[in-house]
Amino acid sequence: MASSFQDASALVAEARRLYGQMFGEEAPQVAVCAPGRVNLIGEHTDYNQGFVLPMALPLVTVVVGSRTSGQDVTIATATGDADEPHRVNFSLCSDGSTLAPGLPSWANYVKGVIQHYRASPVPGFRAVIASSVPLGGGLSSSASLEVAFYTFLQQLKPDDGDKVSKALACQKAEHTHAGVPCGIMDQFVSVLGRESHALLIDCRSLEATPIPLTDPGLVILITNSNVKHSLTGSEYPARRRQCEEAASILGKDSLRDATMKNLEDAKDRLDDVTYRRARHVIEEIERTVQAAEALKRGAYEEFGKLMVESHDSLRDLYEVSCRELDELVSAAMEVEGVFGSRMTGGGFGGCTVTLLQANAIDRMILHLQLWKQTWQISSHLPVFGGIPVTTVAC
């Protein structure tokens, strides 16, 4: 990915420097990277077998390291959560007991990937992680960590799997070791995302359709509310359970198979909350298909309208937004040249994504600063393929 190269190479240099400090002069044998993602539309639809429309980002996680002769593993992160130790040691043993989830919690993502690696047992190694994906920001730092680590293991001991099986193994790692019953979107797009394209993913068939994003007149803006979500809490699993319950009451395998007519017909048998959760999912799946068609046709006004409908539904029906995200979307929609804006990722904090005309970006950033003086522009990203992706943090 040429346009993420600069970012990745700076991170690799940082990780190499830390590796040198920790392990002496020896240079690491392997350096790999995997991207974070922004989801343009299709939220909380992946675990309902529906459609999603994410794109890989020039924000990446890198892993550098080397195979060692024994069974010992040492891993350090240059960019972990502040309240946890940044280094972990354990020994790989035949019964797998040292891979059980524990503390520090960031190491669980790595242990999960080792456990589900298709060519296990893996050899001992030393590794250093560095990332430009914000942690817990809804841009999928966790999947980029899992996929980067899986790629690292492939360099130490090749596996025989294809890309989809790699994404599935990384998803399993998040289920078993981070306790997040996530859908397949994040790991899938981190493995299969393409430069200058969004990816329409059918989360049931796992078919992916790349949609070009190369219009020079467009910009995608990611705004980080800096409100930290905690998806491992009870909310995400609760939403998933409510969807399963709704599908079962409707007599369907998943909400992917349900229509709004099915839902309206069954309304008396559903409590109000379950009805609203199901309505979001059924309508969001439809919106995502429509949005992908609109994007292909260059119908950005229509795409933007669907983004706003998605946000409103996530706020009112699915109840996973928060005040800061709602304010960011409202502020964005006041700016001329903005097509649409919505929260992105699981919610309860994290980022918004906005689609706008390239010539409106300065106006947009100024407006955000005026709207709330505490919102500060902290970073801009380079062009990712065809469309510039710009990030700001509030």
Binding site for ligand ADP (CB under 6 A): 61, 77, 79-81, 105-106, 109, 129, 131, 135-142, 145, 231, 345
- Beta carbons within 10 angstroms of residue 143's beta carbon: 30
* Collapsed DSSP state (helix, strand, coil) of residue 17: helix
Contact stretch for Mg ion (CB under 5 A) within 118-126, 140-148, 193-201, 255-263: 140-148
Question: What is the rounded distance in angstroms from the CA atom of residue 355 to the CA atom of residue 364?
Answer: 11
Question: What is the rounded distance in angstroms from the CA atom of residue 80 to the CA atom of residue 93?
Answer: 26
Q: According to the binding rule CB under 5 A, does residue 131 interact with Mg ion?
A: no
Pairing of strands 351-357, 30-41: unpaired
Closest CB to ligand ADP among residues 281, 351? 351
- Beta carbons within 10 angstroms of residue 316's beta carbon: 12
Phi first, then psi: give them for residue 199, nearest 5 degrees: -125, 115
Contact stretch for Mg ion (CB under 5 A) within 56-64, 139-147, 271-279, 383-391: 139-147
Phi first, then psi: give them for residue 110, nearest 5 degrees: -70, -45
Q: How far is the CB of 174 from ligand ADP (least distance, A)?
A: 7
Closest CB to Mg ion among residues 165, 230? 230
Sign of CA dihedral 56, 62, 67, 72: negative
Q: Which of 46, 159, 186, 272 is catalytic?
A: 186
Q: How far is the CB of 142 from ligand ADP (least distance, A)?
A: 3
Note whether 380 and 220 are within 8 A (CB): no
Q: What residue 80 binds from Mg ion, ligand ADP, none (CB within 5 to 8 A, per partner kind)?
A: ligand ADP
Q: How far is the CB of 145 from ligand ADP (least distance, A)?
A: 4
Closest CB to ligand ADP among residues 45, 142? 142
Instruction: Tell me which residue has its CB nearest to ligand ADP.
Output: 106
Question: What is the rounded distance in angstroms from the CA atom of residue 127 to the CA atom of residue 67?
Answer: 9
Residue 34 buriedness (CB in 10 A; 0-12 / 13-18 / 19+): buried
Q: According to the binding rule CB under 5 A, does residue 142 interact with Mg ion?
A: yes
Q: What residue 12 binds from Mg ion, ligand ADP, none (CB within 5 to 8 A, per partner kind)?
A: none
Examine the residue annotation and report whether 271 is marked as an active-site residue of this protein.
no
Closest CB to ligand ADP among residues 136, 388? 136
Q: What residue 132 binds from ligand ADP, Mg ion, none (CB within 5 to 8 A, per partner kind)?
A: none
Q: How far is the CB of 140 from Mg ion (least distance, A)?
A: 5
- Angular region, 188: left φ>0, alpha ψ -120 to 50, beta rest: alpha
Q: How far is the CB of 77 from ligand ADP (least distance, A)?
A: 4
Q: How far is the CB of 63 from ligand ADP (least distance, A)?
A: 9
**DSSP for residue 163:** H
323-333 and 300-316 helices cross at what angle (nearest 10)? 160
Closest CB to ligand ADP among residues 46, 357? 46
Phi first, then psi: give them for residue 91, nearest 5 degrees: -110, 135
Tell me how many residues contact Mg ion (CB under 5 A): 1
Closest CB to ligand ADP among residues 64, 263? 64
Note whether 187 and 143 are within 8 A (CB): yes
For Mg ion, the binding residues (CB under 5 A) are 142
Active site residues: 186
